[in-house]
Amino acid sequence: MAFDEQGSESFGRRDYLKYTGAAITGVALAGCTGGSGSEATTESETTAPETETTEEAAESYTVSMVPIGDVEFDSVPETWVANNGSWADMGIALGLEPPKGVWLTSRYHTQYYDDIPGVSVDKSDMVSLYQDGVSKELFYELDADVHVMDPNFLMNRFKGWEQADVDEVAENIGPVFGNCIYAQHYPWHEDYRYYSLYEGFEKLAEVFQRTDRYEAFEAVHADFQANLAPVVPARSERPAVAVLWGVGDQPEQYYPYIVGDGTGFKHLTDLQVKDALAETDIKDFHGSRAAIDLETLLEVDPEVIMLRGYESKTEDEFQNSVVEYLKNHDTASALTAVENDDVYRAGGLYQGPITNLVLTQRTAKQLYDVDEPLYDKQRVADIVNGDL
């Protein structure tokens, strides 16, 4: 593929594709030819083979999502990049090949799939979009059919991208289509709606024309929700939990998280976790960007401490490093949660339909001693593999 001096694609292989009215002015959201990345097509994909032409396969379709608006696709995308592990996991649930890139590969915790028989993701070739900034040239190199991310995230999360850059990617490479749903604290997201995990999942299923798998997952999720109800204790019997991001393997400072809306908290809100920090003067990290020390945490003295930032560690590694350090620390050892061995990993920020099931099951065990399975792992595997 050739590029001009500005890094733009000199042969506009998607120039002929149509777009409809977008919510962001000036964004020409091109459809996908599917001409590259044919290896990403799985055996269970429902689109017609290249040797056949059907009326259904030839029809374009439109998917709408704020803040983008309506995007018309002339064919089903094959290659893609995702903003984070939430969207990447949705794609795996739909039986897609993994995205070519995510914002940070280190925060896409594919080890969660170890809980699902026959499902695994190799991210060894996956690219981190953020590498001390985000390079537009990297988007050209990846050459994805669709970019599943909120364009406002690209323009506001760090300095460097403007509307013209988003427009260029959409026009010359493929649509930018997504909504930042993992948390609800960014000021630039105040004037348009958020989507729940399953609302976002449904939109992605429409993009990849796999709504049958979404519907199958929705049924699993409904059963899962029904199974949660009887295992959640009455509020008076639930332990008070502090959710924190620990700084390093010997944490002296912690970023406090108030349990709230957003897919990153879904496992906690579904389990109706009692938030030990919610009624204190401690400010949520999302708004304050401030840390607290162990002395401040001791004043709250939560019954349970759940730490983010350690999902890359196994449970044994976490206990033998972080928890062991707390047990031997003069101040931390006085915390009730440390004394009672109630310090756990809190789960990642980015959850999709599979990882949410895995994390909720794990957290139910940690907080409420739930041993019975809350969802059918084999059924999840069957849906991923197209056995609906």
Q: Of 175-189, 234-248, 276-290, 355-369, which gets the smallest average pLDDT?
A: 276-290
pLDDT of the residue at 11: 29
The total domain count for the chain is: 2
Provide the pLDDT confidence category of residue 307 given band limits of 50, 70 and 90.
Answer: very high
Residue with tokens 């991208």: 161
Q: How many whole angstroms from its chain centre is CA 338?
A: 30
Between 53 and 233, the more confident residue is: 233
Mean pLDDT of 36-49: 34
pLDDT of the residue at 39: 34
Q: What angle do CA 29, 182, 351 make, to 5 degrees?
A: 105
Coil, helix or strand for 109?
Answer: coil
The reply to whether 63 and 97 lie within a common domain is yes
Please state, in angstroms and rounded to a whole number, the distance separating the CA atoms of residues 294 and 253. 7
Question: Which domain range does residue 328 map to?
Answer: 233-384
Q: Is the pLDDT of residue 25 over 70?
A: no
Report if residue 224 sits inside a domain: no
Q: Is the pLDDT of residue 30 over 70?
A: no
pLDDT tens, position by position, 57-107 = 458 999 999 999 999 999 999 999 999 999 999 999 999 999 999 999 999
The reply to whether 243 and 204 lie within a common domain is no
pLDDT of the residue at 382: 98
Please state, in angstroms and rounded to a whole number, the distance separating the CA atoms of residues 302 and 242. 6
The reply to whether 251 and 335 lie within a common domain is yes
Instruction: Give the β-pairing of 292-293 and 253-257.
Output: antiparallel
Instruction: Quickly list DSSP for 110-122.
Output: GGGGGGSTT----
Q: Is the pLDDT of residue 15 over 70?
A: no
pLDDT of the residue at 158: 79
Give me the residues paired with residue 246 across strands: 254
The reply to whether 301 and 179 lie within a common domain is no
Report if residue 17 sits inside a domain: no
Q: Is the pLDDT of residue 278 over 90?
A: yes
- Percent of the chain clearing pLDDT 90 (strictly above): 81
Contact 99, 149 (CB under 8 A): no
pTM: 0.84
Residue with tokens 């459809």: 31
Between 144 and 12, the more confident residue is: 144
Domain of 241: which CATH number?
3.40.50.1980
Report if residue 203 sits inside a domain: yes
Report if residue 6 sits inside a domain: no
Between 41 and 362, the more confident residue is: 362
Tokens found for residue 247: 């700084």
The reply to whether 164 and 270 lie within a common domain is no
pLDDT tens, position by position, 181-231 = 999 989 999 999 999 999 999 999 999 999 999 999 999 999 999 999 999
The reply to whether 174 and 295 lie within a common domain is no
Q: Is the pLDDT of residue 120 over 90?
A: yes
Q: Is the pLDDT of residue 44 over 90?
A: no
> What is the pLDDT of the chain when averaged over all its residues?
87
Residue with tokens 């957290």: 363
The reply to whether 357 and 308 lie within a common domain is yes
Tokens found for residue 262: 């957003």
pLDDT of the residue at 157: 85
The H or E element spanning position 56 is helix 55-58
Mean pLDDT of 156-167: 90
The reply to whether 259 and 375 lie within a common domain is yes
Instruction: Quickly list DSSP for 288-340.
Output: H---EEHHHHHHH--SEEEEES-TTS-HHHHIIIIIHHHHTSTTGGGSHHHHT
Q: Is the pLDDT of residue 14 over 70?
A: no
Between 21 and 345, the more confident residue is: 345
